[in-house]
Amino acid sequence: MKRSTRPAATGRLTLLEKNEHHYPDHPDRATLEAFANRYRDRDYWIEFDCPEFTALCPITGQPDFGHITIRYVPDRFCLESKALKLYLFAFRNHGTFHEEVVNRIRDDVVRAIKPRKLEVRGIFNPRGGISIRVEACYNH
């Protein structure tokens, strides 16, 4: 399945303009949209905080809960937040390991907006008495 993680070439934010709420059931079917960064001449951080992230354990099928933080310094594009919300929601019924979640988000965001810097952190709730923290970074 081809991932749609490119910035909207026309500048149209198709997901933001829709009133309907179609929730993708897999990250491959989610779209990350972007808009032009008006402040390309400076470095500044943007942070998205998702304290209610959910995915499925790929072995047991049980839900895993975590806290995802995405911080980046934009270059030409900024992520649109509604599209990001729907993208993250798409993991809800997707079986994946915590390490894969964080690295996949990192790769998909880099593919979508090519930021100057990016940090993706996942802090996952304990299962079997062990919590997991994963961080994946990118520097252009």
Q: Which residues contact 27 (CB under 8 A, 6 or more apart)?
A: 3, 87, 90, 91, 94, 104, 108
User: How confident is the prediction for the chain on average, in pLDDT?
Assistant: 90
The CA-based diameter of the chain, rounded to the nearest angstrom, is 48
Residue 64: active-site member:
yes
pLDDT at 136 over 80: yes
32 belongs to a structural domain: no
pTM attached to this predicted model: 0.86
Q: Residue 40 has what pLDDT?
A: 97
Residue of 50, 64, 78, 108 marked catalytic: 64
Neighbour-count burial for 29-60, b at 16+ CB within 10 Å, e otherwise: bbbbbbbebeeeeeeeeeebebeebebbeeee
Total domains, the chain = 1
User: pLDDT class for 7, splitting at 50, 70, 90?
Assistant: low
118 belongs to a structural domain: yes
Residue 90 per-residue DSSP state: G
pLDDT digits (tens, 9 = 90+) for 94-131: 999 999 999 999 999 999 999 999 999 999 999 889 99
Residue 57: active-site member:
yes
Range of the domain at 120: 1-11+46-140
Residue of 25, 28, 49, 57 marked catalytic: 57
Give the DSSP H/E element, type plus range, for residue 72. strand 63-73
Q: Which residues contact 10 (CB under 8 A, 6 or more apart)?
A: none
103 belongs to a structural domain: yes
